[in-house]
Structure 1
Amino acid sequence: MTSILWAGAYVTNDQIIVANALLAARNCVQNAHMVVRPLFPVVTNQEMLCHDLRIGFLLGDMSKEKFEATVNQRVSKSEFQAAVGPIIEMFTFSGIDILMKASSLETTAQMFECYFELMALKEMVNYELARVSGEYGRKVPVLIETWQWKLPHRSRVL
C-alpha cells in the first residue's frame, strides 16, 4: 500500500478514497436537508390543504365535479408527500449521526465502518423510496451511485 504526504501527514490511497466518499456523502446529506426535504412538505390538515379550493367552489368559480376531483388530487399528493418526507428526514438525521461519528475517528478501519454504514443507509433509503414509488405510482427522488440526488422531472442532479 502506498502512502503520500498530504496536508503534512502521510495517508494511504484508501484513506483518500474514504475521505472523498465521506465528503460526497456530507454534500448529499446537506442537499437532502436544504433542497429535497422542502419539496415534500407534510400537510395533514385537510382544511388547510383545500382552503383556497373551498373558497373558489363557494364563490362559484368551479363545478362540484371539478372541485371533488381537485380535492382528491391534492389529498393524494399530500399523502404521497407525507410518505416521502419522513424517509428524507431519516436519511438526513441518520447521515448526520454517521458523519459526526466519522469526524471523531482516527483509524482507517473505523472510517471504513462509517463508510459502509453510509452505503447501507443509502441502499435502505433507495429501497424505501422505491417502495413508496410503487405504492403511489409516482416518481420519487433517488440517490445515485455518486452520492447525488436525482430528482423526478428534473434533468440535473444535486
Structure 2
Amino acid sequence: MAQAKKSTKRTAESEGSYAGFSDEEREAMKDHAKELKASSRGGAKAEKAAEEAAAVVEKIAGFDEPDRVLGERIHALVQENAPELAPRLWYGMPAYARDGRIVCHFQPAQKFKTRYATIGFSDAAHLDDGAFWPVGYALTTLSAADEKRIAALIKQAAAG
C-alpha cells in the first residue's frame, strides 16, 4: 500500500500536476496580509499615506539591478504625471491607487523569477481601446520614448 502511494506521487510530479502555490506566490500572499493589517490600523489619513509612500520607496530601494532602476523610474513617472495616485504596497509590489483602488503596479522580475519586469494596469485604469487592449507591459530597459508612452498611460489611468 505504501508503494502505491509513493508511485502515485511520483507520477503526479512527473506529469506536472498542481502541487500548490510556489514559494514566491506564498510570499506575495504573506506580503498582502501584512499590508491589509497595516492599512487597518488607526491613525491620521495623511500619516498613513506618508507611511505607505515611504514603504514603496523602501521596497524599490531593496530591489536588485535592473529592477531597482526600473522601479525608481516608474515611481518617478507616476509622481510626475499623476501625483494624485497614492503609492502603496500591493502583494509586496509598488502600486498606485486612486480612491483606494489600485490602478497600476510595478512587478520586478525578481518577484516571480521572470526574465522581465512589468508595469500592469487594473480595470480601474480604464485603458479600454475597443474590445481588445493590453493591461501589462514587459520592461527590460526604459528609453525616452518608452517613458513618454508609459507617462501617457499613467495619466490616462489616473483620469480613470
TM over 0.5: no
Please state which structure has a larger fraction of its residues in helix: 1
> Which structure's relative contact order is higher, taking Cα pairs within 8 Å and 6+ residues apart?
1
Structure number with higher strand proportion: 2
TM-score (norm. length: structure 2): 0.31
Point out the structure with max Rg over C-alpha: 1
